Amino acid sequence: MAHKIRVGALISGGGSNLQAIIDASKSNRIDARVVFVGSDNPEAYGLKRAQKHAIPTFVVDYRTIIEETRGRPPKNLLPEDFDLEVCLRRTRQRLSDASSDRVKAERYFCIRAIAEAALLREMAAYPFDLLVLAGFMRILTPYFIDRVNTDPSQLRIMNIHPSLLPSFPGADGYGDTYRYGCKVGGCTVHFVDYGEDTGPIVGQKAFEITPDDTIDTVREKGLKLEWQLYPECIQLFAENRLQVVFKTYTLENGTDVKRKLVQIAG
Ligand code: GAR
């Protein structure tokens, strides 16, 4: 067996993707081992799944942090290395009402930085090669991303999303796919960037949506594919086969677009 990469995982809920990754690593189907599982939600069932396998866990309770910092977040809670201007400059999130409102945007990023600094403090105990978001339902800001991707040419945060991106980013990929009347659904693993579900795509799997399908069967079909896709993408990372490249394309109207893409070697 080749050298195993160390994978950290962040979850918010049931953790069926986490389970698929743990199973793949325990059965040596991937050259990886899960070194910690963190959650923003103390009730996440995925924490129990990790504990069953003696994987260290921690919780940074976002809800409590958000409640306790209602109003203006106390300056003394902000991490010393937090720079609001850098966050505002780098983010590509659609902050809905916050984007046009400086006070709201400031509040949003300050509270996230307090929570993310707590995540980073917990994670510091467990060195890792790759961080996987496995149903982690919080958007990460540039403050956190820059402290994990310390070498900007080496992306090392992956996310799994329940749609064929770039269609249907956001909180309910399968629901949005189904309600749109799509005849094909799917799931995507991508590297995390400063946007919302916009990072370079690592892998995708698709399934057919038939007239008999309901929202529940669409979710079932999708999740089954997620459990295959995530371990496969982690294995590509472990084999060092994921190369981030820049490509420039000229559109029909003559403008050039530059894209950051993942190329799979070998
Ligand atoms: C999965 O469907 C995953 O794609 C989705 O949450 C579910 C988590 O299930 N993630 C997102 O929507 C991220 N925006 P799990 O906890 O059973 O792995």
* Predicted confidence (pLDDT) per residue in 197-226, tens digit: 999 999 999 999 999 999 999 999 999 999
Percent of the chain scoring above 70 in pLDDT: 96
Q: What values do phi and psi take at 157, rounded to 5?
A: -120, 125
pLDDT at position 94 over 80 = no
> Domain residues of the chain, as ranges?
5-72+125-264
pLDDT of amino acid 71: 75
Token representation of residue 206: 């698709």
Q: Which residues contact 203 (CB under 8 A, 6 or more apart)?
A: 188, 189, 229, 232, 233, 236
CB atoms within 10 A of CB 236: 19
The best mutation among 161, 172, 188, 197 to test binding of ligand 1, ranked by most ligand atoms within 8 Å of the C-beta, falls on 161
| Centroid of ligand 1 to alpha carbon of 15 (angstroms) | 8
161 is catalytic: yes
CATH of 5-72+125-264, one of 3.40.50.170, 3.90.226.10, 3.40.50.261, 3.30.450.20: 3.40.50.170
